[in-house]
Amino acid sequence: MKLLIVDLLAERKAFGQEGVREIISHFDNPDVYLWSPHTSDRVQYDFGKVVDKPIDADFVVITGSRRNVSQWEPWMDDVAKLIKEVEVPLVGICFGHQIIAASLGGKVVRADNQSQLVTSVNYDDGSQIDALFTHQDHVIDAGEMEVIASSEHCAIAACKHPTRNIRTVQYHPEATTEVISKAIEVGDMTYEESKVFDMSKELISLKDALL
């Protein structure tokens, strides 16, 4: 299968490369294509093919980003076009969650403070999971998307589309203990910064969250 990663942390060794590696590990030997419309200064991954525009894929993943939907940039128009037109399954993580909602009639605003924590998320089916959040933008109107989960600090923590195969989460299911450790090792974050995340908890996997 052809897997298109809208790779919006491509400039980071851990949260980019290792986060994407974790994402693709949940697919069966996909052909990976990496599209990073926000930058030309990306880390050279040891997997995937870098492309300068979306390809006809069988599945699309939009990752997190250091950019902000609430501070819209011109390249985001290209991502929004993909969201509106894609006919294959689409999932969004953090920034991906936000830009999908915004592109489908919703609204994203910037909070006064950043949220960095591991906390519980309550789903509409009665289930409760633990997940890692790091964000300042919040979806406050999901547009076409249906809200299916919330947390104490985030009213719209997960969504699905009622008629299209689209699922999104505000949290980071790809941020495993291994990814956090790699982030410390390569300098994406310090050990002190990592202490806000209680990695002793059993966090929801990307497969269970989105696939």
- Is the separation of the CB atoms in 120 and 128 below 8 Å? yes
Q: How far apart are CA 62 and CA 83, in angstroms?
A: 9
Measured over the CA atoms of residue 206, residue 66, residue 88 and residue 162, the dihedral's sign is: positive
Q: How far apart are CA 151 and CA 32, in angstroms?
A: 32
18, 38, 94, 135: the active-site residue? 94
38, 135, 138, 172: the active-site residue? 172
**Residue 153 is a catalytic residue:** no
How many residues does the structure list for the chain?
211
**Residue 154 is a catalytic residue:** no
Q: Copy the structure tokens of residue 15.
A: 């949260």
Q: How far apart are CA 115 and CA 119, in angstroms?
A: 11
Residue 101: C-alpha distances to residues 11, 55, 167, 168, 181 (Å): 24, 22, 10, 9, 31
**Residue 135 is a catalytic residue:** no
Between β-strands 128-141 and 31-35, what pairing exists: parallel, antiparallel or unpaired?
unpaired
Active-site residues, by number, are 94, 172, 174
